[in-house]
Amino acid sequence: MRTQVGIIGAGPAGLLLSHLLHLRGISSVVLERRSRDYVERRVRAGVLEQGTVDTLDEAGVGARMRREGLPHHGIELRYGGAGHRIAFDKLVPGRAITVYGQQEVVKDLIAARLAAGGDLRFEVEDVAVHSLESEPYVTFGGERLDCDVIAGCDGFHGVSRPSVPEGVLEVFEREYPFAWLGVLAEVAPSSEELIYARTERGFALHSMRSPTVSRFYLQVPADTDVADWPDERVWAELKARLETVPGFELATGEIIEKGVTPMRSFVVEPMQYGRLYLAGDAAHIVPPTGAKGLNLAVADVRVLTEALAAFFEHGSSELLDGYSRACLKRVWRAQHFSWWMTTLLHTFDDDDPYGRRLQTSYLDYVTSSEAAATTLAENYVGLPSD
C-alpha cells in the first residue's frame, strides 16, 4: 500500500492535516489505534482561538461550529472576593474565542474525511514507523504503508517521537505538583462567560459546552484517584471555590463525565527528523490553564500543510526543512503563557505567604492595568499567524 503522507493518530492534528491535504490534492492514510466511537467521545479541550475557528471555516468544516459553538468576548478572573472581566471586545477588538468541544471538532473532521472518501483506519494495532531518513514506511497489524513523509500526530504517548534516534531531539520539560479533575454536567452554566478562580483551596474553572451543559475543572493533587471524588464532593468543592463573590450561586446537576488530567509542560526541538514531522501533542504539551493545546495542534498543521503543498506541488523542500523553526516561535509563546497562567492561578504546596501575595498582587496588576490585561487578552484569543 502506498500514500503520499502517512498520518499516525486521529486526534485533531491528524484529522485536520488529512483534510487540509485532501483539499490540496495530496493523499494520506490516517492510522488510529482507538475506535471511532472512542475518539468521538473523548472529552478534552473546549476553547477555540480565532485562528482555529478561521482555519476550520476556511477548510469547509465550520458549519456546525458556527451554529452550535458559543462565541465569547471576555473571561472572568475571580479572586480575593471579586470578579474582574478581561474584555476581549475592548482590549483586542475583532478577536474572540469560540467555546466548542474538541470531540465535536473531531466528529466534524471525521465526517468530512469520510464524505470525501478519505482513508481513516481505526483500531489498528502495533503501529511502527521505519526508515525515517529516506523512503519511510509504516507497519501496522501485519500491513505495510509506504509513504513520502510521515506525520506523527499521535499525541504525547504515541510511537512517533520515541522512534527518533536517541540524542537527536532536545527535551524541555516541567511537571507540576497538581492535576485537574474535569467534570461535565447536565446543568445550565451559572455564568455567561468562563470563570478562572484562584482561591486558597486551589484553582477552579467554570466553562461550558451548551446552554444546558457545563464543564468544570478543579485543581487536585497530582496522584488523585477519580474514585475519591464522588459527585457530592465535586459540587461541594466547586461551590467552595466559585461561590466567592456576593450573589453568585452555582447551579448543580447530573455529572455525566469525570476524569483527571496531569499537568505538564513539554517541548522537543526540533519537531522533525528525516522524513518524520511531529505535530500537536506529539511534539509539545502545555498545562491546560491557557486553553492552548488544541489550538497549537491546529497551528502546527497549518504550517505543515503549506510545507507539504510546496513539496508535492513544486518539489521544494525549503518550507519542510524550516517546519520546526516556523512552529516553535508560537509553541514557546504558548508555553510561556500557559506556564504563567498556571503559576498565577494555582496554589503550590511549598508556597509561603510571600509567594501567595506575589500572585494576588500580579492579579491586581493584570486586572487594573490596560496594558497587562491586553497582554493576557491577546495571548488568550491567540496571536495571529506570521
> If binding is defined by CB under 6 A, does position 108 make contact with ligand FAD?
no
Check residue 126 and give left, alpha or beta (phi > 0: left; psi -120 to 50: alpha). Answer: left
Looking at 22, 34, 85, 90, which residue binds ligand FAD (CB under 6 A)? 34
Instruction: Write the CB contacts of 260 (distance below 8 Å, at least 6 apart in sequence).
Output: 179, 180, 181, 182, 220, 224, 225, 226
In this structure, the number of other CB atoms found within 10 A of the CB of residue 111 comes to 13
> If binding is defined by CB under 6 A, does position 97 make contact with ligand FAD?
no
Cβ 97 to ligand DHB, closest distance in Å?
9
d(CA 261, CA 52): 23
DSSP state at residue 187: S
Residue 33's alpha-carbon distances to 10, 119, 140, in angstroms, are 9, 14, 10
> If binding is defined by CB under 6 A, does position 382 make contact with ligand FAD?
no
- Closest CB to ligand DHB among 324 and 338? 338
- Closest CB to ligand FAD among 10 and 21? 10
- Closest CB to ligand DHB among 122 and 339? 339
> If binding is defined by CB under 6 A, does position 288 make contact with ligand FAD?
yes
Residue 255's alpha-carbon distances to 43, 108, 214, 221, in angstroms, are 13, 25, 9, 21
Residue 118, C-alpha cell as written in the block: 478519505
Binding site for ligand DHB (CB under 6 A): 45-47, 194, 205, 207, 215, 288-289, 291
Partner whose footprint covers residue 215, from ligand DHB, ligand FAD, none (CB < 5 to 8 Å by kind): ligand DHB
Closest chain position to ligand DHB (CB): 46
d(CA 213, CA 46): 12
> Could you list the active site residues?
72, 196, 288, 292, 380
Pinpoint the alpha helices (H) of the chain. 12-23, 36-41, 50-58, 63-68, 88-91, 102-115, 231-242, 293-314, 318-321, 323-345, 353-368, 370-381
d(CA 125, CA 141): 5
Residue type, 297: A
- Closest CB to ligand FAD among 119 and 364? 119
- Closest CB to ligand FAD among 33 and 72? 33
> If binding is defined by CB under 6 A, does position 287 make contact with ligand FAD?
no
> If binding is defined by CB under 6 A, does position 179 make contact with ligand FAD?
no
Closest CA to 305 of 160, 155, 151: 151
Cβ 46 to ligand DHB, closest distance in Å?
3
Degrees, nearest 5: CA angle 342-347-348: 95
Looking at 109, 153, 185, 328, which residue binds ligand FAD (CB under 6 A)? 153
Closest CA to 121 of 190, 58, 39: 39
d(CA 180, CA 162): 26
> If binding is defined by CB under 6 A, does position 331 make contact with ligand FAD?
no
Cβ 361 to ligand DHB, closest distance in Å?
23
- Closest CB to ligand DHB among 103 and 160? 103
Looking at 6, 20, 26, 33, which residue binds ligand FAD (CB under 6 A)? 33
Using the rule CB under 6 A, give the single segment among 4-12, 130-138, 223-231, 376-384 that binds ligand FAD: 4-12
| b/e code 250-283 from CB counts within 10 Å (16+ = b) | bebeebeebebeebebbbbbbbbbebbbbbbbbb
Cβ 103 to ligand DHB, closest distance in Å?
11
- Closest CB to ligand DHB among 152 and 288? 288
Looking at 69, 83, 155, 382, which residue binds ligand FAD (CB under 6 A)? 155
In this structure, the number of other CB atoms found within 10 A of the CB of residue 299 comes to 26
Cβ 82 to ligand FAD, closest distance in Å?
25
Cβ 194 to ligand DHB, closest distance in Å?
6
Residue 292, C-alpha cell as written in the block: 492552548
> If binding is defined by CB under 6 A, does position 159 make contact with ligand FAD?
yes
Binding site for ligand FAD (CB under 6 A): 8-14, 31-34, 39, 44-45, 102, 127, 153-155, 157-159, 261, 280-281, 288, 291-294, 297
